[in-house]
Structure 1
Amino acid sequence: MRLNVNILLITMVLSGFCPTVFAQQALQPLPESKNAFIVIAHRGSHLIKPENTIASIEEAISIGADYVELDLRTTKDGKLVLLHNDQVDQVSNGKGKIKDLDLEEVKKLILKGKDGGLHHIATFQDALKTCKDRINIYLDFKAADVAQAYSEIKKAGMEKEILVYVNSSEQYASWRKNAPKMPLMSTLSRMAVTKEDLLESLKKMPLEAIDNIPSKELLPIIRSMGISIFVDVQNSSETHEDWSAAMKKSIQGMQTDHPQALIEYLEKNMIRNGLKEN
């Protein structure tokens, strides 16, 4: 009788044997980066420039970040724009939810930066043009149509420069259906603390990257499967100790509110390409 290959491989993993063929199976390649250790600028480099704006993207590019994390939402008239929260109040001089404003109304909103400049909410198209061949995108898919977003990505020729973070199983299914070659990322359930839990979770929703480690005991199996780990350290008061502690967990990158300081720290300590494995 011919054995089912997937069942055989899972059995091998559960027994502690993780062959290379399993590690590579079904994974899509992540965007190429010049640095082995990935620095992700959370909402752009937004300490001085307003978050999710073209200016914050340009700042992230200028300081040498590998990815810029951007949040995608939809206006009343179906246009894709960058905005973290569903309301415009916190970042602009406007009021209300982005889904209740059309693009022309959104374009009139003013965002003030600490640099004294006046900025605007960015469209997805403008963000794609700004990033193309300059910096990869970590796309936090907040509230948008997958087919529409992927269409704009294809028009910009950026299919190989984006990692998509999905926030639900519905988003995951839609991306796999509409863009099966796009690498996807999400958070592993904190309940997945055993090999069996992990394999069951990834069987339902295979991922190319994750942003958390539910249990340190799972690190060897996660690494053997070829899944990248980009942890969130973003905080207004990040320290060298935070970065050092995160790197010791065998991760491949960090999402930070202080990309310039993190890059300087990595370069000063000659670990821009990560810690050497023991």
Structure 2
Amino acid sequence: MTYKDFIADPARRCAVAAHRGAWHGAPENSLAAIENAIAIGVDIVELDVRKSADGELFLMHDDTLLRMAGIDRDAETFTMAELQAIALRADDGGEGRALTDQRIPTLKQALEIIRGRIFADLDLKDRGLFSEVAACAREMDAAAYVDLKTTVMTPEHVAWVKAQDIAGVPFMAMASFTENGTGETLAVLSELKPFMSEIRFDHIDTIAANRGAFEAAGMALWKNTLDMVSSGEWTDTAALADPDKIWGRLIDAGISAIQTDQPAALKAYIEKRA
């Protein structure tokens, strides 16, 4: 099944997306974190993509290697051979984490694991890599299993996306919805027909009230519940304390993909609800 077919399936449960892979027990953005997500039964892994000094695409979230490897230097100033010689710290890194046997993977290595086994949301640290990453996905026969995303709120955003060569790769918009602006935002998005949108909103009622409009647009809704300021009240910490109040309300409002740093807990909650 392709990513788009999976998301479009009206019978599926809410999809679980593991932020930077399932990193409890493996370094984030590592091949082991992807394998962990597959073992848990997660639907999607979110991975961060950068480009090395010698032109190779690789996985790493931060600008520097300080948190994940203890090296205070920009990741993109290393060659790929140098990057793959660096041991990653466990879990989400930091000074207290031990070094592991995991190395910084290339995007190609990640796609080799992903293809046919799990879907991937590719978060590009430089959106100028859109066409290059899409070409890599096609080369690896993984285009149908990944998405590319960027903010789409204006006609200028639409024009930028249309200028990229991402043929065969599903596109996910990143958009904000408000009580009075949802219709206008949907009109802008209609130019691209994204299969899914990673959303922010002013209030959960805005999403619930426009559920029919989102469905008519053929666009699934993705929400992050990460412990970040941008998540507002919708955080993993709050969800672990009261999953019905956070994950349950999101699902009831029509959100059908949730990105989390607690993928095992979210998966168990969704299965319990079913």
TM-score, with normalisation over the residues of structure 2? Answer: 0.78
Q: Which has the higher helix share?
A: 2
Q: 211-220 vs 88-97, which deviates more?
A: 211-220
Distance between the aligned counterparts of 1:218 and 1:59, measured in 2? 36
Q: Please tell me whether the aligned partners of residues 172 and 205 of structure 1 are also in contact (alpha carbons under 8 angstroms).
A: no
Structure of higher CA gyration radius: 1
Distance between the aligned counterparts of 2:159 and 2:65, measured in 1? 26
Aligned to 1:228: 220
Aligned to 1:194: 181
- Corresponding residue to 2:262 among 248, 258, 272: 258
SS in 2 for 1:212: strand
SS in 1 for 2:83: helix
- Structure 1, unmatched stretches of 5+, are 1-27, 271-278
Aligned to 2:64: 87
Aligned to 2:169: 182
SS in 2 for 1:157: coil
C-alpha deviation, 1:163, in angstroms: 1.7
Q: Which has the higher strand share?
A: 2
- The 5 A counterparts of 1:1-278 are 30-32=4-6, 35-113=12-90, 117-143=100-126, 145-167=129-151, 173-174=160-161, 177-190=164-177, 193-203=180-190, 205-214=192-201, 215-216=206-207, 217-235=209-227, 237=237, 238-239=239-240, 240-241=243-244, 242-270=246-274
SS in 2 for 1:30: helix
Distance between the aligned counterparts of 2:151 and 2:59, measured in 1? 16
Q: Please tell me whether the aligned partners of residues 67 and 138 of structure 1 are also in contact (alpha carbons under 8 angstroms).
A: yes
Give the CA RMSD over aligned residues: 2.7
Distance between the aligned counterparts of 1:93 and 1:108, measured in 2? 14
C-alpha deviation, 1:135, in angstroms: 0.4
The residue identity in structure 2 corresponding to 1:233 is T
C-alpha deviation, 1:99, in angstroms: 2.0
Q: Please tell me whether the aligned partners of residues 3 and 145 of structure 2 are also in contact (alpha carbons under 8 angstroms).
A: no
The residue identity in structure 2 corresponding to 1:186 is A
TM-score, with normalisation over the residues of structure 1? Answer: 0.77
Distance between the aligned counterparts of 2:65 and 2:250, measured in 1? 33
Query: Percent of counterpart pairs with the same letter?
Result: 23
Q: 59-68 vs 252-261, which deviates more?
A: 252-261
Distance between the aligned counterparts of 1:155 and 1:133, measured in 2? 15
Q: 155-164 vs 170-179, which deviates more?
A: 170-179
The residue identity in structure 2 corresponding to 1:247 is I
C-alpha deviation, 1:139, in angstroms: 1.1
C-alpha deviation, 1:164, in angstroms: 1.5
SS in 1 for 2:47: strand
- Structure 2, unmatched stretches of 5+, are 92-96, 228-235
Distance between the aligned counterparts of 1:46 and 1:159, measured in 2? 24
SS in 2 for 1:56: helix
